[in-house]
Structure 1
Amino acid sequence: MKPIQGSFITGYVSILIKGEQPELFFQICSKHGITIWDMKKHAPDLCEGKIKLTDIKLVKKIRRGTGYKVSFIQKKGYPFLFKRFMRKRPLIIGLLLGFFLVIFLSNIIWDVKITGVPKDIEEKISKQLNQYGVHPGAWIFSLESPNLIQQQLVKDVPELLWVGVDQKGTTFYLEGVEKIIVKEVPAGEPRNLVAKKNGVIKDLYVSKGIPRVKVNDYVEKGDLLVSGVIGNETDEEGTMELIAADGLITANTWYEVSVTIPLNYYDEQVTGNNEKKYFLKVGDFQLPVWGFGTPDYSDIHRESTETPVRIFKWESPIKVVENVLSEKKSNRRERTREEAVKIGIEQAKADLQLELGPEAEIMTEKILHETMDHGKVKLNLYITVEENIGDAQLLNQGD
């Protein structure tokens, strides 16, 4: 008979039966509901078999009055391993001390890494983090959450446009984006409006200043659109007034955009087949507790969820990690040339709109050049846009 499933967990023993026709003793045991497997007859009066640990008492009871001699020759399973383990006190103490040492060390910050910003801003961020208590050697439980640290940094370091704070194990990772400070012309300061790009004037709305261009005029970048100088020194009164020119100068501008669209592409779908694996995580160390091996999927989509183990209101450093491994299949798709051209035009317009902002309006598009090479359609597009091209420029009052 094959080994009984789970017998190693509950424990089992090998018994040796000595007497006349020893196999009859195993038959008696079987009638009493005792499971026996791996029976071997070593001699006419000697037979061996395996039984569960829980059936030992019943075997001893059945043996009484039968004349058979029963010997327990081998013990296997977790119960016996556990007893042997518990006898080794120095090893147990060492493991416990090691476990608590791992917990202690995994709750201390060992490194803080800052990327994406110049050295001077990095030093400011580091200084602020020290004030928050975030530095190597700090106790993790004494710190605010990464989200709160992120919000406070953006508030306290004005040079930062955005900062991402992430804690991975015993390391804090910070990735920042420097704020590009554009010096705006102060309201009310004397200024002109000049063209910030080439275009053909479509509409003029001037609330302050003197227009220097008309509708349908072609202007180039830097040309004067609205002057903030009223009067001049050669008029009859010999006066000149400097004001802050203001208005909305709408022009038709144009862009050449290139885009490449493949005729063959792949999309991914989850089939519904999945396996779950569970781990106990302390810091960067993960101990698998359920679900071993890797599923026989050609492509796998992984999702991971971490749940901290709580003891009343205290959140322990131990986390239960659930990994869901889902079978994923990639399907090869094909487009026609016409479909690729249509998708390319829409993609080019969307990218340009994102670059120009919501106030700009794309008017027309035209294909300048279209080629197909190595299964890809390449487009050169001419796109016309209607947008405000006015840009404030301070007047030099010393002139």
Structure 2
Amino acid sequence: MKHVQGSYLTGYVTILVKGNRPELFFQDCSNQGVQVWNVQKVSPEQCKGNVLLRDIKRIKKIKRKRNYKISFINKKGYPFIIKRIFRKREIVAATIISILLILFLSNILWKVEIAGVPKDIEEKIDKQLKSYGIHPGAWLFTLDKPGVIQQKLAEDIPELLWVGVNKKGTTFYLEGVEKIVVNEEEVVGPRHLVATKKGVIKDMYVSKGLPKVAVNDYVEPGDILVSGVLNETEDTTTEGKDSKKKKAKPIVVAAEGEIIANTWYEISVTVPLEANYEHLTGNHEKKYYVGFGDFQLPIWGFGSPDYEHIHRENIDNNIKFFKWELPVKIIETTLSEKTYQELERTKEEAIQTGIKQAKQELQLQIGPEATIVSEKVLQQSTENGKVKLDLYINVEEDIVKAQPINQGD
């Protein structure tokens, strides 16, 4: 009989049968459904053949009914190989420890490389990364994703214009571009101070130049507020009966000063009378799982927290073996307690909320140096559960900008 397919996987043995006409024993085995192959007659009273490992018990039962002596002369297949391996406990222990050590070393951060930035910014980045827990020796699956790290660095280090974070194996590569602060080019040399927007002059302080406006004057964008030309009148000279008028040589300076004006803005804002908010209380628990495809086996953090509403956030961290990603991952799940809040406002509360919101947005637009003086509701309406406001907001702010004087004119 030919070799039985899959016999090496399940294991098989070569048996030697001794007795009168031993080939009949193999015939009996075959008749009772035992697979037998490579049957060879060694001598008139000896015959050998291969049988599957799982049929040994059936062969022993058949042997009890026959006057034959059976011995096992060869064993082959994976079951015997595994059995021989586990007999050598030292080798098994060393192999398991080696695999665990490789897995451990393949899943910790070995190196952080930073390029493209000056030394001082590099030190800031390194310090910031350590505050995130990113340093040689850290577990890779406990670290944030490169995109999250990139966003954090851009927010926490204002000197960075751009930063790229890339993870290759057990190394983090960071490449940054320093932000070059380009200050608005200051007009050097002779200049006027002109208005940037319309308004009514509230206060003036001129250290250099000739004021062209006064307090309570109304100005438009582009109007000269402080002139850099100090002698704008004509000189008159008299010689006898003839008199001549000639233009004096202009005296020009770089005008300097601060002109505070009352300006105004019209803003529209809409505020709902009813709103639903999802609020995280700050209470949370973490759980860890080993994931195989869609299957997850909990390894830390059992049971469920006693929260009425739960916000769930999963972070998957693939386990690596050298440079290869295994189909096994560590899943970190954060269960945060959340509450739902329903807010109902009266119309007056909605109006006050809208005014506050409009003033905050305007302050961001005009800068911290400007002061919001007053506000007035021009128009209000309620539609579809929302209050719409048209506001008139009065601001005190510096409205000057420098304009160079063309001395060739």
Shorter-chain TM range is: 0.5 to 0.7
Counterpart contact for 2:117–2:177, Cα < 8 Å: no
Alignment partners' CA distance in 2, 1:211 and 1:363: 25
* C-alpha displacement of 1:194: 0.5
Alpha-carbon deviation of 1:329?
1.7
2:117, 2:207 → 1: CA distance? 48
Write the letter of the residue equivalent to 1:225. L
> What's the offset of the Cα at 1:193?
0.4
Partner residue of 1:56? none
Aligned to 2:365: 355
3-state SS, counterpart of residue 235 of structure 2:
coil
C-alpha offsets along residues 82-119 of structure 1, whole Å, 9 cap, x if unaligned?
x979969579737734752563475367999xxxxxxx
Offset of 1:186 from its aligned partner?
Answer: 5.6
Kindly report which structure 2 residues correspond to 1:60-99, keeping only aligned pairs within 5 A, or say none. Answer: 93=95, 96-97=98-99, 99=101
Amino acid at match of 1:182: N
Residues 120-139 of structure 1 aligned to structure 2 (within 5 Å): 126=116
The alpha-carbon distance between structure 1 residues 223 and 176, as it changes in their structure 2 partners (threshold 3 A), is farther
Conserved 8 A contact 1:233-1:239: no
1:273–1:327: 8 Å Cα contact kept in structure 2?
yes
Distance 2:181 2:270 in 1: 31
Inter-partner Cα distance in structure 1 for 2:90 and 2:376: 82
State the alpha-carbon separation in 2 of the partners of residues 85 and 353 from structure 1. 78
CA separation of 1:354 and 1:132: change in aligned 2, threshold 3 A: closer
Q: Structure 2 counterpart of 1:141, which letter?
A: P
Cα distance between partner residues in 2 of 1:199 and 1:182: 26
Who is 1:37 aligned against? none
Counterpart secondary structure, 2:373: strand
Aligned to 1:325: 335
| Cα distance change on mapping 1:272 and 1:216 into 2, 3 Å | closer
The alpha-carbon deviation at position 184 of structure 1 amounts to 3.4
Superposed displacement of residue 240, structure 1: 1.4
Q: Residue 226 of structure 1 aligns with which residue?
A: 226
Offset at residue 249 of structure 1 (A):
1.0
Report deviation, 1:337: 1.4
Q: Distance in 2 between matches of 1:239 and 1:330?
A: 75
Contact kept? 2:117, 2:178, Cα under 8 Å: no
Say whether the 8 Å CA contact 1:205–1:248 is kept in structure 2: yes
Say which of 257, 263, 267 aligns to 2:273.
263
- Cα distance 1:161–1:270, how it changes in 2: closer, same or farther (>3 A)? closer
Query: Are residues 1:370 and 2:365 paired?
Result: no
Contact 1:251 1:389 in 2 (8 A): yes
In structure 1, what is the Cα distance between the partners aligned to 2:199 and 2:162?
Answer: 38
* Alpha-carbon offset, residue 243 of structure 1: 0.7
Distance 1:86 1:342 in 2: 81
Q: Deviation of residue 279 (structure 1)?
A: 7.0
Structure 2 matches for 1:167-246, cutoff 5 A? 171-172=172-173, 178=179, 181-185=182-186, 189-232=189-232, 234-236=234-236, 238-246=248-256
Aligned residues: 271
2:405 counterpart letter in structure 1: L
Q: Tell me how far apart the structure 1 counterparts of residues 196 and 281 of structure 2 sit (CA, whole Å).
A: 53
For residues 277-309 of structure 1, give each alpha carbon's deviation from its aligned partner in whole angstroms, at most 9, with x where no partner exists.
2579xxxxx9953125766856424699xxxxx
Among residues 135, 141, 145, which one is paired with 2:136 in the alignment? 141
Deviations 1:107-149 (A, max 9, x none): 367999xxxxxxxxxxxx74769x9699xxxx9739xxx99xx
CA RMSD of aligned residues (A): 4.9
Q: For 2:136, what is the secondary structure of its paired residue?
A: helix
Structure 2: runs of 5+ lacking an equivalent: 1-84, 126-133, 138-148, 237-246, 291-295, 315-329
Deviation at 1:209, TM superposition (A): 0.8
**Post-superposition shift, 1:166?**
6.7
- Shift in CA distance, 161/194, structure 1 to aligned 2, threshold 3 Å: farther
Please give the alpha-carbon distance, in whole angstroms, between the structure 2 residues aligned to 1:266 and 1:397.
Answer: 64
Contact 1:86/1:92, CA 8 A, preserved across alignment: no
Counterpart CA distance in 1 for 2:172 and 2:227 is 57
Question: SS of the counterpart of 2:358?
Answer: helix
Distance 1:335 1:88, change over 3 A: farther
**Which deviations, in whole Å up to 9, do the C-alpha atoms of 1:242-274 show, x marking residues without a partner?**
111112211111111122211112344567975
- Residue 252 of structure 1 pairs with residue 252 of structure 2: no
For the 8 Å contact 2:273–2:346, the answer to whether it is kept is yes
Corresponding residue for residue 107 of structure 1:
109
